[in-house]
Amino acid sequence: MCAVMALVAFVPLVAAGEYTIIKGPQGPRASAMTWTYETTDYGVWTAKLDNHGLRSLVVDVYDNTSGALDQVLHQRIRFAAYDAYPSGIIYSEPVNMAAGRVYEITATPNGPRDSYVVVSDQWMINELPVALFDATPNYLTVNVNASASYDTDGTIVEYIWEWGDSTMGSGEVTSHMYGMAGTYDVTLTVVDNLGGSDSLTQPVTVMAPPNELPVAMFTPTVNELVVDVNASASYDTDGTIVAYGWNWGDGSPSVVSASPRASHTYAMGGTYAITLVVTDNDGGIGSVAHDVMPWAAVDEPPVASFTAVVNGLTVSVNASGSSDDNGIVSYAWNWGDGTTGNGVVATHTYSGAKAQSLTTESRVSIQADPVPPYYVAGYTLDSTGAALPDCQLTISNMRTGMSVVIMSDALGFYMWDIANQLEGGYLVGDLINVTAVKGTAIGWNEGLAAAGGYIQLDVTLVAPPFDVTITLIVTDTKGQTSTMTMKVTLYP
């Protein structure tokens, strides 16, 4: 009776076929009976079993719509377990059946010979579910809620959404984002636990959201008068940035570029407000400004410095000690003798006393008698050994202190009778000094007077040391100059 009471919820029931299954003399399978049941609606099938002496019954139900058996129920019923032995009425387990299907039902009895059971098909038509939903658009997104849908005789087990843009979804509460604005027919199909379904279609209008403006951000880097800017941190949440516009704040033309990086050189130092304007793919703009303080570098003038090494009339100079913050591009030398030079390191040779190119007579012995006149004779020469003409000579007898002034000739030769033409007389062994002067050059020689001959005293004239002023001018990359002068002493 418990099984009968459990089936009260399935009313109204519709009785269908009735079949008597008798246990024969052979085994249970030999007494089995099979019949078909075709459905026109969704519903629940169950078998009413009126037992008359059977101990058990096996009920098998197959979906045979396609010709291939698909088992949907296998139940072994022991009547004693339901207080229906040796007699009583019970019901099999229910089977959900879909509309338009063909089912094959087999009942296999087991019990004493000639015991039997009367099986009646019981059918309960399914009440279809009702599809209801609310749709709430939010720009391009629609939020749907089908919780108002219901099924009076069961439960809804599936919610199927057709969004109207060739896509589908599922779920009692869900949402969908459209690719573009417009009106779409949204269809909800609900399916209950017995396979029954219902659909509802509603138009839904969605619109594109307003454009989110881009956000402008940039970082400036200042290097003297040059400012580099980087706006790669700028962003657009709903699109892309397509243009970066820069206003440098110094009256120069603005610059617009697709690149987030730019550079600008200011004419002078100061404080400037750089403004960045970014534009997104929908034409929205965003801006930001930052103050920058470029500065003009102070170009220090160069410092000229050099050393000088003197070797006779040659001077070697080295200006590698000169310096400049941006580099020196030229080194100019004024040697102080009307000539110039250049280079970090330079060498210059000055001119001393110049010997005339003369054809001189051979320096042979001057023939003299062993008696007076006694001569002193010789040549005036320059530092190279060449004859130096027209020199003033002072011939002195160092014993008497007497002297005479004469000139060497055009060949640099001189001769003088010191015995007869020099006051104070002449003695063998007197020390005779000859001093020669020409311009600034001077030289001297001396020797002892000899008897019966002459003294040959050649005089080499050497210019005295003299000073020259060397000037160095260095020039840097900006055209600034620095000067250093040095006085050096030359030794001919």
CB atoms within 10 A of CB 72: 15
User: To 10 degrees, the CA torsion angle through 282, 288, 289, 290?
Assistant: -130
Q: Decide if 196 is inside a domain.
A: yes
Question: Residue 444 forms beta bridges with which residues?
Answer: 435
> Across all residues in the chain, what is the average pLDDT?
89
Q: How confident is the model at residue 241 (pLDDT cuts 50, 70, 90)?
A: very high
Determine the structural domain holding residue 412 and report its residue range: 375-460
pLDDT in tens, 133-167: 999 999 999 999 999 999 998 899 999 999 999 99
Of 222-231, 295-304, 478-487, which gets the smallest average pLDDT? Answer: 295-304
Q: How confident is the model at residue 16 (pLDDT cuts 50, 70, 90)?
A: low
Mean pLDDT of 57-83: 96
Q: What percent of the chain has pLDDT over 90?
A: 71
Mean pLDDT of 364-375: 50
Query: Is the pLDDT assigned to residue 368 strictly greater than 70?
Result: no
For position 345, which CATH number holds?
2.60.40.10
pLDDT (0 to 100) of residue 242: 97
Q: Are 193 and 319 found together in one domain?
A: no
Q: Decide if 37 is inside a domain.
A: yes
Task: Using the 3D structure, point to which of 91, 125, 159 is the last residue of a domain.
Answer: 125
Q: How confident is the model at residue 195 (pLDDT cuts 50, 70, 90)?
A: confident
pLDDT (0 to 100) of residue 10: 36
CA–CA–CA angle 379, 382, 387 (5° rounding): 45
Q: Are 140 and 195 found together in one domain?
A: yes
Query: Is the pLDDT assigned to residue 384 strictly greater than 90?
Result: no
pLDDT (0 to 100) of residue 362: 31
Q: Decide if 361 is inside a domain.
A: no
Mean pLDDT of 460-479: 89
Residue 8 to residues 1, 4, 15, 259: CA-CA distances in angstroms? 11, 7, 14, 78
Q: Are 272 and 400 found together in one domain?
A: no
Q: What is the count of structural domains for the chain?
A: 5
Mean pLDDT of 18-33: 95
Task: Using the 3D structure, point to which of 206, 241, 267 is the last residue of a domain.
Answer: 206
Instruction: Give the CA count within 13 Å in the CB-facing half-sphere of 422.
Output: 29
pLDDT in tens, 414-468: 998 877 777 777 788 889 999 999 988 888 999 887 766 678 889 888 878 888 9
Q: What is the pTM of this model?
A: 0.45
Q: Decide if 480 is inside a domain.
A: yes
Q: Which two tokens stand for residue 174?
A: 């869900």
pLDDT (0 to 100) of residue 41: 87
Q: Are 81 and 7 found together in one domain?
A: yes
